[in-house]
Chain A
């Protein structure tokens, strides 16, 4: 069943088209732009507190002197914003919304109004969070992990209103993504184009669907925990208060039972993006499609059994710690397998180092470093020393930065032509890429060193720690901060490239990268309804350099041709 009469639409105004739309592509852009805007706030927060660390007590340009309370709020907000309001909306919601209907060959998500509602709730959550900056006491300062009693008790965290607004904002964000997940999973299961079997679905769609399921299965206990935390904050219940028989460790378990799967919720879409980019710019079939799918599922399942590695020094039974060490080390195996499959795809390929490909390759290299440093932390014994040091921080930035920043840039530069109908500038793209990557490493390699030397996390001023307040360590901290300044300073190049290309970049054809997946058979950008004629699918998504064919790609929607016809004998189709 192909072909679709497009419904006749009255000419919609600006509001209807851009702010009140149910079109999945518009909703995707809403999530993308909101995420990028929140990244500015999260980036400003880290700029301020890293300046404080490099030049303690000095007035930070564009902010002023940083007090201890402000420092706590800044680190809290940086972590919270980057995970929940940048990584998740950009990787999961923006790319999920944009790509899934297009890659599956249908005209929209299954429940467009629920989709619109999910963005609106997400926007509300962002507004609530930003509002918390302006209430008496300011934004919450209890770290993004919000451990009670610090988070439950205003006399400890000194940010009474901010603390409650933070919990409410996070809870709303969870609801938004649960609603979004409904669409991703049902559309992927039920609305595939005729002929598209499960294993003809592009990897990025698999990854987003698995990530949505992971999110849904893991977030429930934390929602319950968040309700309990808000009641502790507002009503004086004592769920986490030992004085009333409660237990602060309960929060830790509820939080990390979600918190660990959450990192895979953001990792899998990023790996999916890389899985789309690498075959296109290697002109080679993706190696181990099924392996990648199965290992993604395995990663998701195992991710439910590792959470207590965040609690090795919280007083848990050492035997439990040993169990979680084993599971944590095991989870590195399926992820490594996925990376091996990507490397195997590159091997023997005809590589083009376009901007998206540079980002995809950088993802593999940098994430690898993040992953192997996680092994040290996953071993309970080593973690006794390393817990709460900057070693942990450098580890998770070597994973999160590739996920949220490198992966996002890979996706944006790759699908920009499809999204906006124009090409980005390659030269600006490459300048932006190289400075970003170099600067990123200049930030975090010193932090591995300071962490191994003993730098605690979440310290506003090291002058009270004689062993750490040394010129050697301070110069490492300054180096890291200078790396950050360089990183932030080069981002306007991307913004300029983005906006200028959007407005007057060269017009893009439908398939500028000569790729196979269905979105490239739609116009650039796709109209409302996506396809003039809904496609049918005849093969998998990665038939690059197929044998016996002239072209080095074979789009999914092109009907099969017999070998005789392909060889030129017999009629031309």
Chain B
């Protein structure tokens, strides 16, 4: 049963169903991260001493990762533009650059965390660190999931098929980026 139901092709609200679905996913993810980060902010306001713990995060690593993610979001936008023009091969290449950004991000994270753990800052070193690893870890899991989605979409896009998916996976990637834009100040800059 590989045929698409007629339901999928209808568009009464004039918004393509794939995009509608992706916004739904974003909304649900926003509430998850919103709950987690909201809890963090409320706890942090209560514990002024967390600023001392936060001093041990590497602002440079965080800033570099911010640059990496923003650049990868740029390539995602360019991929969408290429897809709109029907250029599947170019869209696929740009999606792979986006994936590369995700790889670099995760590598930097790996080094960062290894260093911090070696210094003795583990997930049980205190509540600040518990939030730090949980929030950044949850985000990293979403980066990884995004990379898998990017890979799958780039494969079909390379054949110039299902090009509308380039925009949808891009929307997801922008979300992952936006979450990081919140994490960076909350975990790195607020010291």
A→B interface (CB under 8 Å): 4, 7, 9, 22, 101, 106-112, 114, 178, 181-182, 185-187, 189-192, 196, 216-225, 227-228, 231, 235-239, 244-247, 250, 254, 257, 534
Contacts and interface: CB of A to CB of B under 8 A. Distances in A.
B17 to A, nearest CB: 5
B21 A216 contact: no
B45 interface: no
A246 B134 CA distance: 14
B13 interface: yes
B7 A189 contact: no
B59 interface: no
A222 B5 contact: no
Interface in B2-35: 3, 5-8, 10-13, 15, 17, 20-21, 24-25, 27-35
Given A190-B20, A238-B130, 13 more contacts: A7-B3, A110-B5, A110-B21, A185-B20, A190-B12, A190-B13, A219-B28, A220-B35, A223-B32, A228-B39, A228-B130, A235-B124, A245-B127
Interface of B: 1, 3, 5-8, 10-13, 15, 17, 20-21, 24-25, 27-36, 38-39, 42-43, 46-47, 123-124, 126-127, 130-131, 134, 138
A221 B35 contact: yes
Given A110-B7, A216-B27, A216-B31, A238 B127 contact: yes
Contacts of A245: 43, 46-47, 126-127
A239 B130 contact: yes
Contacts of A222: 35
B1 to A, nearest CB: 6
B134 A227 contact: yes
Contacts of A221: 31-32, 34-36, 38-39
A267 B24 CA distance: 22
B116 to A, nearest CB: 16
A15 B84 CA distance: 40
Nearest to A219: B31
B31 A220 contact: yes
In the A-B complex, list the 4 residue pairs whose CB atoms are closest, starting with the nearest: A220-B31, A221-B35, A224-B36, A108-B5
Contact of B6 (A225, A246, A534): A534
B46 to A, nearest CB: 8
Contacts of A225: 35, 39
B21 A186 contact: yes
